[in-house]
Amino acid sequence: MISAAVMTGPGEPLALRTFPPPELEPGAILLTTLGSEVCGTDVHLWRGQLAGVPYPIVPGHVSVGRIAAFGPGEVPRDVSGVPLHVGQVVTFLDVHGTCGRCWYCTVGHATTRCPSRRVYGVTMSADDGLLGGWAEQIHLKPGVHVVPLPDSLDWRAFLAGGCGMPTALHAATLAEIAFGDTVVVQGAGPVGLCAAVLAQLRGAGSVIVVGGPVVRLAAATAFGADAVIDIASTTPEERLAMIRDATGGRGADVTIEATGVPSAVPEGMRLTRDAGRYVVVGQYTDVGSATINPHLDLNQKHLDVRGCWGSDAGHVHRAVRVVDRYARQFPWTDLISAEYALADAQTALEDVAAQRVVKALIVP
């Protein structure tokens, strides 16, 4: 039997359950889990802030495992078209089942909006099996996009960024950060920290992280942010004045919102210069509304506002390459505050919810 941590419903304590080994269909893969991240999405799930979640679920939507077995027939291939092999260490895109035929898949090139889209650890029920990473093994259905980790890369280094890295990569790409830009990142969680790193790699002249708590701001400084602003000790008016002072009175060339707090959005628009770019990536769930002045905050400023939601297989593939390429420059594993066994998954969830850690992993 295979153990897994199960989220039975919003606000309910996690339960440790056992599952029979899955029957692998042709094209399926069985992973022995090495580790799975605990992130803000898991907190949203626990708080009931996502619609359409088929509780009970096995959480864990970004994971790393070692291939243990394949289903019958042809050996599955990775995202580069190379056959996989038993013993290989891989990660995978959590999104599964996009149809490839709807308008969003074929014309809009926005597979995150495909109506057939399902997500490991989020919208796939534990009643259907080991479809999340907080388990000793993971059943990858046929067609899951698999990304191998290079032998040179510590799997923990990849999970230190976790879903934050491909999500931030998507946001940084949309932001079109240019050499010398001043980039403000709102939020010092995993997405914000990864966005701050990627802004540096894209040639930003200055990177300023606005957020908290202190432990995460310290991580931002350690990973190269030029300045940090603690929201606990400043007002929105003071933060605006500080950004203006740092930019000759103009505001940031690019601002990336990675907070998940609605009130951060109008503030971020005001932190950005006229004709600047503002990318909203942190509003993954509906936690409320925010008020803007369309004339002052948007139209008069000629502000370019871009929404960013989730990531695709290309972002995961690139995230693996970025983490591997810059492993010497950025000690990714320093972001991991704690590792938890399956039996301690509830503690991990509560620690992340309380922001007592930068990054937490479930390691069965």
pLDDT digit string, tens, across residues 316-340: 999 999 999 999 999 999 999 999 9
pLDDT at 158: 97
pLDDT at 111 over 90: no
Q: Is the dihedral of CA 24, 29, 32, 37 positive or negative?
A: negative
Distance CA 31, CA 125 (A): 18
C-alpha Rg value of the chain to the nearest Å:
20
What does the pLDDT average to over 13-41?
97
What does the pLDDT average to over 141-163?
96
pLDDT at 253 over 90: yes
pLDDT at 277: 98
Contact between 209 and 192 under an 8 Å Cβ cutoff? The reply is yes
Task: Measure the CA dihedral 136/191/283/100, to 10°.
Answer: -60
pLDDT at 207: 98
Mean pLDDT value across the chain: 95
pLDDT band, very low/low/confident/very high, at 301 (cuts 50, 70, 90): very high
Query: Where do we find the tokens 């951060």?
Result: 264
Of residues 17 and 108, which shows the higher confidence score? 17
pLDDT digit string, tens, across residues 32-74: 999 999 999 999 999 999 888 999 999 999 999 999 999 999 9
Percentage of the chain modeled with pLDDT above 70: 100
pLDDT at 112: 78
3-state secondary structure 8-73: CCCCCCCEEEEECCCCCCCCCEEEEEEEEEECHHHHHHHHCCCCCCCCCECCCCCEEEEEEEECCC
pLDDT at 310: 82
* Helix (H) or strand (E) segment spanning residue 306: strand 304-307
pLDDT band, very low/low/confident/very high, at 289 (cuts 50, 70, 90): very high
pLDDT band, very low/low/confident/very high, at 103 (cuts 50, 70, 90): very high
What residues contact residue 282 under an 8 Å CB cut-off, 6+ apart?
186, 187, 191, 192, 257, 258, 259, 260, 261, 264
Question: What are 10's two structure tokens?
Answer: 């919003």
pLDDT at 337: 93
pLDDT at 269 over 90: yes
Q: What is the separation, in whole angstroms, between the first and last Cα of the chain?
A: 14
What DSSP state is assigned to residue 196?
H
Percentage of the chain modeled with pLDDT above 90: 90
Global confidence as pTM: 0.93
pLDDT at 285 over 90: no
pLDDT at 284 over 90: no
pLDDT at 286: 86
What DSSP state is assigned to residue 354?
T
